[in-house]
Structures are given as structure tokens and as C-alpha cells.
Amino acid sequence: MPTLTIDGKQVTVEAGTTVIKAAHGAGIDVPFYCWHPGLSIAGNCRMCLVEIEKMPKLQIACNTVCSDNMVVHTQSDKVKKARQGVQEFLFANHPLDCPVCDQAGECKLQDYYMQYDLKPSRMVDRKTRRVKALPIGPYVVYDAERCIACSRCVRFCDEISGSKELGIFERGDNYYVGLAAGTELNNPYSINVADICPVGALTNRDFRFKMRAWYLTDHESVCTGCSRGCSTKLSENGNTIYRTLPRDNEQVNQYWMCDDGRFVFKRELGPNRLLAPSTRKGADVRETGWDDALDALYAALRRTVNEHGADAIAAVGSNQGSNEEIHLFSRLFRDAIGTRMVAGKSDIGSEGYQVVEDEILIKADKNPNTTGLRVFGNLDTDASALVKAIEGGKVKVLVVWGRGFDRVLGDRAPALLEKVELVVHIGAHEPAHRADLVLPTTVWAEKEGTFTNFAGVVQHFGRAVRARGDVRDEVDVFAELLRRFGAAAPAGAEAAFQEAAQKIPGLAGLDFRGLGETGVKIESVPVLAS
Amino acid sequence: MADAPRILLDFLDDDRSWTLESYRKRGGYKALEKALKMEPVQIMEEVKASGLRGRGGAGFPTGMKWSFLAKNDRPKYLVCNADEGEPGTFKDRLLLERDPHKLIEGMIISAFSLGSKKSYVYLRHEFELGFQRMEQAVNEAEAAGLLGDNILGTGFSHHLVNHRGAGAYICGEETGLIESLEGKKGQPRNKPPFPAIQGVFNDPTVVNNVESLAVVPWLINNGGAAYKAVGTEKSPGTKLFSVSGHVKKPGVYEVPLGYPLMDLIDKECGGMLDGMSLKCCIPGGSSVPVLTAEECARANLDYESMNALGTFLGSGGVIVIGEGTCVVDMLANLSRFYAHESCGQCTPCRDGTNWIHKVVDRIEKGGGRRQDLADLLDLSDNIMGKTICALGDAAAMPVIAFIQKYRHEFEEHIEKGRCPYKPEYAVAHAAAGR
């Protein structure tokens, strides 16, 4: 454990720690372009040069390992001049097209110019021209004039995606990031290169020219694209989401996310949204208010329990739902109504995905909270008992939460549902199957909650946008029904989570607000039924 | 000069000096026989005792470099840097073309000392003849049992591969060379780790210059002490100097270190061309600071004397420049070279060398501004010591030296708006409407 001094501050670090990490850990700013905590060290940008006593030359902090009694200066005149020099060199051939550059507002060149340079340009000669606006894959476009050759993108494709499409070609200031012969940048993680590009050289084609970065507000979220549950942020302006970015989370997704995950918000927020409660008879759809809809549902449930017993009610839970929702869903049907006909199910299947599962991040289970179904709701994902009851005509009321019940039943769905008197759909999207009563709800980006990923990491997600239409959070819907059955119910996601954490042994000690930005791993993750 | 030993250039009188037969006649491979009977560490001790300093340019003691080689179970590699690309330097080329067996013998002996079973000669792409001669020599040596498995029946095996570069100056930098040798883009590595710890294929590697390795057989035959007796105290031995420029007899000369620069020009090279006087001289390859005629008169060709004059002995590429030569034009030429050869990996070198070239070229072509000289010095300072490898320094040093020593010529260009040495620039300048 070497102890060193950085800017007069004594720091003790693990053996093998680099100076840049030690400095950052001590809250000392050392600027960098090419260094990235998730990639190998390239040492090419020279922005992190620091002065180390007894060394004649400035040293790059990213490639210098801390040793005992090392004395580092990050603010000396020599260091400041070196940084200014690097900044000036990077700008020498830079097109300064910030007004039309997507990176503007979140560009390291801009930030560091303000922090470390602030000099007018001395460059009066013709700038070196290079290729601009070149699509290099379905999602990424390249601008060589903005490129600073930091090689982060190349290292990402070599070391993380393993697809090795990119290289830096040519020499001197003729360099450009190019594709290996016969390839394009179409690996399942390609958009990460736009994220890690410190400048505007690689940008996301989907986001391109849509919104200036400074108008966007990033909302802490979790990807619902698969059971990995990558930590994300949703960039929003004017109640519209423009893009998804990964958040750093060592225990879940490190610094990355897959391309499919970036577009989940389009699927969830986009078409087929339900906007008001309704009663339906074939093609005849009548919008109702929430009070009427809940009254009708409560009346049907109560009557069915009285006339046929609780098991005549069947309920299907969703692994797209949050832990809080699953908890209240379970309380409502299991405890308050008392039916045994409760099952969880996979809301979204892996059909149609280009990559079903890989060794990097992508999981075959395309739902964010299958673990939550087990842990929070004690819900078996196997719906066979329930299906058998429907087949036998024993189920009078079927409450389906979320999409995909059709997927579970397959071709038999229409015929099976005919045997049920009342089919209730609770969800955000138009159901594929028959529904007599429809209660529209919010999607994850419109509310707050928690998911438990495949490895048992419980993560909090926040609200990014307000829902349109007359829709409600599931937590409120289930709580309202619980109250109608005479049970006490928590108000809101936080209270629901706290209640679950008290009731369920596996969650003891968890606190909704204490999950932090990266979540908390629960100790024992039950094995899921398939 | 008659009393100095011919350590390297002993083959000049032989018109088929590259053959094994010729080399044998000159006592070739006797040193190998002797060395294979020695303890490997004894060989290293002889090299250390000789005081031999790396002839590639840095002048780092060869024996010490060997001693840094990691002592572990990994394979060890010996690499000969034959990517002689420093402008003004052509001494290794002569050795490769005219005396390849000397290098090969030196390499086998060195490899035996280092415990290396495989070595590579990384040849500059342009050395077509050198490559052919090396290939021929390797074949001859293998056929004669001097190279390959079980050399001379001693049980020591060593294989040597000639590997051609693809024409990049930067591959003369030892880690850039290693990257290229591994089949990658020739870009220098960050150090540490140094090649002695992680070199070729991340295994311990010694990289030595052709001339350094070619000296080894002589050291074994004559002993390190005999070598140490030649030259100066801190710069022992002889060295090859490649002399080019405005002299009567340009070429490669072997002189003891410490030899006066003016003697090399006046005696060995027959003096300046008729009607020309010395203006300045770049003594160690294009990267080192230039010496004025007055400094040349005080200059001795050894590492310490050169350092005292603020320059370097470097690779021994002596570029002699006569009066009437425009130093701004020269610098424009040099800076174009470095901008073209910068590998483009690290920021200060990639963008700095190109920027410098644009400015110097503009001054030479008549578009200079008063501010340019201060800017050039500052840009050079922003490159020096801040890059991954020494190319940045190599590009910056000539700029600083030329401007410091010939500022008046730069100012004359700027004031007149044209190159005073080339009247045609004034015409071109006017035609361009600037």
C-alpha cells in the first residue's frame, strides 16, 4: 500500500494503482481524453501529464504506477503549460464546427478549453481536411476532422465487444478511424463508441441533430430490455425522451449497454399505448372513468369470490413490473382475495432478437424483473396450473397484468379465454387478446420504482417523463383495490418497497432511498422456475 | 589515423566481402568458436568492459542494456535494429550490404550470452540489396553449421530471421520496431515496460543497432580492454560516420571517437567542395541540433564533446552544409520529413510536427510573420519531452537550434517576404497574388 503526495495531499492507495486513479480518488482533477477506466491504457492524448519529483520529464498519470514517497504535482506551471499545449495542438486542425456538432455541450475539447486553455488560436495556416459525416455502421457516423485519435473506439471494439471492426489508419495528421476491410460497425454494442468518444467524432445516428445537449436533462433509470438491467440515464427535454445512455455501474454493466437497450424507450413509450380505462365488447370500446372502472372490477371480484370461491379468480403477474408493483399485486390476489390461481410470466420473449444472449451483457430473459417476481411476490413463473384451471372452466375472472399472456398460451389463447367470463387487462399497451375491462397504466420511464436483475442487484429507477392520457401507476391501482377489500395499502412506490422490505426476509435491511445510484445486491437469489 | 584499428571497415579492399569465404579469410567466425567456449556472463562482462555505447543514436552502454534483460523463464529475443532511417545516416547499410557475416557472427555471440534462441533483423524496407545479402549470408552460415541447430556441435541452437519493414521512419524507434515486427502498425509503446522486460511478443528482448552488434566479434577476439583503449575515456572505440553534403568525398568513415570534426571533413573527406566554405554541420543525423562553422572548429566526435556543444553524436550522420545554403529551406525540408513520419499516435507530435512544417514552409515561401519565430519556439517546447517516443524531440530540436543560431536569416525571409537564396520564390509569390 504505497503512500504518495499529490498536490500536498497524502494519499494511500492499493499497490499497482495508477497516479490518475489515485488523484481522482483524492478528488484532484487530472484531465484526460484517451484514458477510460474500462479500457486498456493507450497514453496517447498526453493530457494527463503531471510533474513527479525526481523524474526529469513530465509523466502521463494514466500509465504511471504509484510508488511509496512519490511526490506528484498536478498544478505546477510546467503541467499547466503542457495541458495548454496539448489543447492547442488538438485544436490546430479541429474544424470548430460546434454549432452543428452533436457533442457540443458535453465535449471534452470544449470543457478543457474553458478549464485549461482559454487562449486565442495561433493557428493561421490552412487546416488539414479530412473526411466528414461518414456513416460507419447502422447507428454510428464518423467525422475525422473532429477526431483526436484517442483510440477509445478502437480499444472498445478490440477489448469489450471483441468485434474488432475499427482501426486507426494512416500516419501523422492524415489519420482516420476506419473499418477493417469488408466490415461495418454493426456489433450489438456499437453505440458505446459514440458515448466514449470524448469529442464529436463518433455520434449516434439516431440522436443526430435531434436536440442540443444543454437542453437535455438526464434521468437516472434502469434498462428494461433484459434481465441484466443496465444502469442507464434517459435524456429528456419537454417531456420527450431523446436517447438512452449507460451509467457506470461496476456490478451490473460496467460502463456499457447494448444497442437494443437504447431503443427500449421507443417501444415502451411509442405506439399501442392505452390512454383511458375502458369497457369492451368486441369492437365496441367505451371509455370510463377510473372510479367506475375500479368499482366494476371490485364488484366483479367480490361477487366471484362470494359465488364461486377465491380460486375462480386467476391473476397473471408481469416481470416487466417493478418490485413494488409485484409486491402489491401479490398482496391483492394472494392475501386479500386469497386465490391460489396466481402466476408470473415472461412479458417479453426473446423471439426476433438478433442476439439472444452473449457473454458480455445481453441476457436471454428480455424482462427486467423476473428475479423480482420470485423474491418480492413469491410468484411461480410457471402458469400451467392456472392454464389447466382455465381449461377446466373453473376460472370466472382472469386479471392479466402486462403483455405477453398470449405468448404463454400460444394459439390456444382465444379459445381458452372464451371459457372465462371476465378478462381484465392491466397494462400500458393494447392487449393482443380479448379484454372486457382495460385499466391503462404507466411504463417504467413514467414512474419510480425498483427492479431486481438476474444476479439479484436491486436498482432504483426514477421518472423521466410524465405519462400522457388518463393512466395510473400500477402501485396506485393495486393499492386502491386493496383498500376496497378493506386492507391497508401503502401510498406510492417508496412506501410499498419499505413494506416489502419489512415483510420479506430476503429483503431485510433494504431501504428504497438507500439503494444509491448503483443498487444493492441481495444475498440469496432464488433459482427461477423456467 | 593510421594508428587506429580498423574494427568495422576491414572489408573495403575485398570485392566479394559479403561472402562467407571472404569473411573467413578475414578471421571470420573465430570469435564465435571462442565465445561458445566461454560462459555467457563472461561475454557480457567483455562487452561491459569495452565501454561500447549503443550506435543507434542514444549512446546507451550496450553491456548495461543487456544486463537489464529480465531473468525469468520466458523466451528471450535479440532484435537487430537495421531500420536505418535517420536522414544523413547510411553506415548500417554499408555493413549489411558489404559485411553481413560480421553482423550475423556478432548476433550469434550476443544471443548466446543473452540466452536467446531466436533473433530478428528488422531491415529498412528500402534496403533491397542489404536484405538479399543478409538472406544469402544466413543461408551460408546455416549450411556451414554456424547458425541454426547445434551450432558448431556445441549444443547451442539459434535461429535468425530477416524481417523487412514497410518504410516507416518510426519503426527505427525500438518499441515501434517491435510493434511492426509483431505485425501491428508501427507505433511506439509507452514505457515502462521497457523491451528488456516486455518486448517482442511481450517477452524479454534486447534491441541493438547493427553497428553495435557488428563490434561484438572484435570484442571477443581482442578483449573489451583493447576496445576501451581506443577513443576517449567515456566514449571508447571507433565509430562509423556517414558524411554527406558539400564535401569532396562523402561516404562512410571509421574513426576513433574523440576525432576532431574538422579533421573528418578536411582529411577523410578531402575538404569542402571547391569554392565553398563551411556554413554549418549537423553532426549526428538530422534530429540533432546544428553546429555553426565556429562551433564545428571546436567540435570533437565523441558523446561528451557533442553534449558540451549542446548537440548529440547521435547516429554519426554528419551533414556538412556549405555557405549559400538556405537554412530556412533546410528546416522546411526537415520539418516536412518529421511531419510525414510522425506516427500520429500522440497529440503533441502528430499535430505539432505538422503545424511546425506549415509555419516553416510558409516562412520559406515568403509568407512569414514576425510572430512566427516565437510561436515556433513555443510549439517546439510544447512537444519536447511530452511525447510517447523521441520523434517529438527529434522534430523539435532542429527547429530550436536553427532559429537560435540563424535567427537573422529567418528574419530576413520575413522582412523581405521571400527566400533571399532563391529569387524564384519572389516570382511565385507575386504570381500567387499574396
pLDDT at A278: 97
Closest CA–CA distance from residue A164 to any residue of chain B (Å): 14
Mean pLDDT along residues A227-237: 98
Nearest Cα residue in chain A from B349:
A172
Q: Which whole number is the average pLDDT over B259-284?
A: 96
Residue of chain A whose alpha carbon sits nearest to that of B351: A89
Kindly tell me if the per-residue pLDDT of A407 is higher than 90: no
Distance in angstroms (rounded) separating the CA atoms of residues B15 and A305: 112
3-state class of A234 per DSSP? strand
pLDDT over 90 at B251, yes or no: yes
> CB within 8 A of A301, min separation 6: which ones?
A313, A337, A397, A481
- Placement of cell 390512454 in the chain: A275
DSSP state letter for B262: H
* Closest-CA residue of chain A to B389: A44
All cell numbers assigned to A372: 423480482
- pLDDT, mean over chain A: 94
Mutate to test the interface with A, among B175, B179, B336, B351 (most CBs of A within 10 A): B351
Does the pLDDT value for residue B256 go beyond 80? Answer: yes
* Contact partners, residue A47, CB within 8 Å, separation at least 6: A31, A32, A33, A34, A83, A86, A87, A112, B347
- The CA distance from B45 to B38, in Å, is 11
A-proximal residues of B, 154-213, CB under 8 Å? 168, 170, 185, 190
How sure is the predictor about A530, in pLDDT bands with cuts at 50, 70 and 90? Answer: very low
- Would you say the C-alpha torsion B260, B265, B270, B272 has a positive or negative sign? negative
Q: What is the pLDDT of residue A344?
A: 86
pLDDT mean over A263-268: 96
Whether B434 has a pLDDT exceeding 50, the answer reads no
Distance from CA of B354 to the nearest CA of A (A): 7
- How far apart (Å, rounded) are the C-alpha atoms in residues A211 and B427? 52
The ipTM (two decimal places) reads 0.93
Of A123, A126, A172, the CB nearest to B339: A172
Nearest Cβ partner of A122 from B170, B348, B375? B375
Torsion sign (Cα): B118, B132, B338, B324: positive
| Candidate from B341, B348, B353 with C-beta closest to A86 | B348
A185 pLDDT higher than 80: yes
With H, G, I as helix, E, B as strand and everything else as coil, classify residue A337. Answer: helix
In the sheet that holds A134-135, the strands lie side by side as A134-135, A140-142, A202-204
Helices within B37-127 (DSSP H only):
40-50, 62-67, 91-98, 100-114
**B342: chain A residues, CB-CB within 8 Å:** 171-173
Give the ranges where A198-322 is alpha helix by DSSP (H).
259-262, 264-269, 290-308
Q: State whether residue A168 sits within 8 Å of chain B by CB.
A: yes
Confidence of residue B248 (pLDDT cuts 50, 70, 90): very high
Instruction: Enumerate the residues of chain A whose CB falls inside 8 A of the CB of residue B170.
Output: 171
Query: For residue B428, is pLDDT > 80?
Result: no
Cβ A44–B341 below 8 Å, yes or no? no
Does A89 touch chain B if contact means CB atoms closer than 8 Å? yes
Shortest alpha-carbon distance between residue B375 and chain A (Å): 8
* Closest by Cα among A375, A514, A363 to A451: A375
pLDDT digits (tens, 9 = 90+) for A358-396: 999 999 999 999 999 888 877 766 778 888 999 999 999
3-state secondary structure of A399: strand
Cα(B354)–Cα(B351) distance, rounded to whole angstroms? Answer: 5
Which ranges in A338-418 belong to alpha helices (H)?
370-377, 384-391, 405-409, 413-418
Is residue B208 packed enough to be buried (19+ CB in 10 Å), middle (13-18) or exposed (0-12)? buried
- State yes or no: pLDDT of A511 exceeds 60: yes
Nearest CA-CA distance, residue A99 and chain B, Å: 23
Residue B204: how many CA atoms within 13 Å on its side-chain side? 19
CB contact (8 A) between residue A58 and residue B386? yes
Look at residue A271 in the predicted model and tell me its pLDDT. Answer: 84
A81 — contact with chain B (CB < 8 Å)? yes
Which of B358, B371, B383 is facing A125, going by the closest CB pair? B358
pLDDT of residue A381: 65
CA dist., res. A128 & res. A142, Å (int): 16
By Cβ distance, the residue of A41, A46, A128 closest to B347 is A46
Question: Cell numbers at residue A503, please?
Answer: 415483510
Task: Kindly state whether B356 is in contact with chain A, defined as any CB-CB distance less than 8 angstroms.
Answer: no
Interchain proximity A89–B355, CB inside 8 Å: yes
Chain B CB contacts of A175 below 8 Å: 344, 350
Which one, of A37, A105, A38, lies nearest residue A48 by Cα? A37
Distance from CA of B352 to the nearest CA of A (A): 6
Which of B347, B385, B387 is the closest to A90 by Cβ? B347
Identify whether the C-beta of residue A404 lies closer than 8 Å to the C-beta of residue A350: no
CA B198 to chain centre: 23
pLDDT in tens, A126-179: 999 999 999 999 999 999 999 999 999 999 999 999 999 999 999 998 999 999
Whether B434 contacts chain A with CB within 8 A:
no
- What is the sign, positive or negative, of the torsion defined by CA atoms of A60, A61, A62, A63? positive
Report the interhelical angle of A474-484 vs A492-503 (nearest 10°).
Answer: 70
B190:A88 CB<8 A: no
From residue B238, how far is each of A136, B55, B159, B259 by CA, in Å? 56, 10, 29, 9
Q: What is the 3-state secondary structure (H, E, C) of A153-215?
A: HHHHHHHCCCCCCEEEECCHHHCEEEECCCCCCCCCCCCHHHHHCCCCCEEECCCCCCCCHHH
Q: Are A345 and A381 in contact (CB under 8 A)?
A: yes
Cβ–Cβ gap B385/A57 under 8 Å: yes
Q: Distance from B221 to chain A by nearest Cα, in Å? A: 40
Q: What is the pLDDT of residue B376?
A: 98
B-chain CB neighbours of A93 within 8 Å are 351, 354
Distance from CA of B341 to the nearest CA of A (A): 7
Mean pLDDT (chain B) is 95
B387 reaches A (C-beta below 8 A): yes
The reply to whether residue B342 touches residue A173, judged by beta carbons under 8 angstroms, is: yes
pLDDT band, residue B431 (cuts 50/70/90)? low
For chains A and B, what is the number of CB pairs under 8 angstroms? Answer: 100
Cell numbers that stand for A463 in this block: 421518472
Q: B352 — contact with chain A (CB < 8 Å)?
A: yes
Residues of B in Cβ contact (< 8 Å) with A56: 385
Q: Supply φ then ψ for residue B378, to 5 degrees.
A: -70, -40
In this prediction, residue A45 carries a pLDDT of 98
Q: Which residues contact B153 (CB under 8 A, 6 or more apart)?
A: B145
Question: pLDDT band at residue B2, thresholds of 50, 70 and 90?
Answer: very low
What does the pLDDT look like over A337-356, one tens digit per residue? Answer: 999 999 888 888 888 888 89
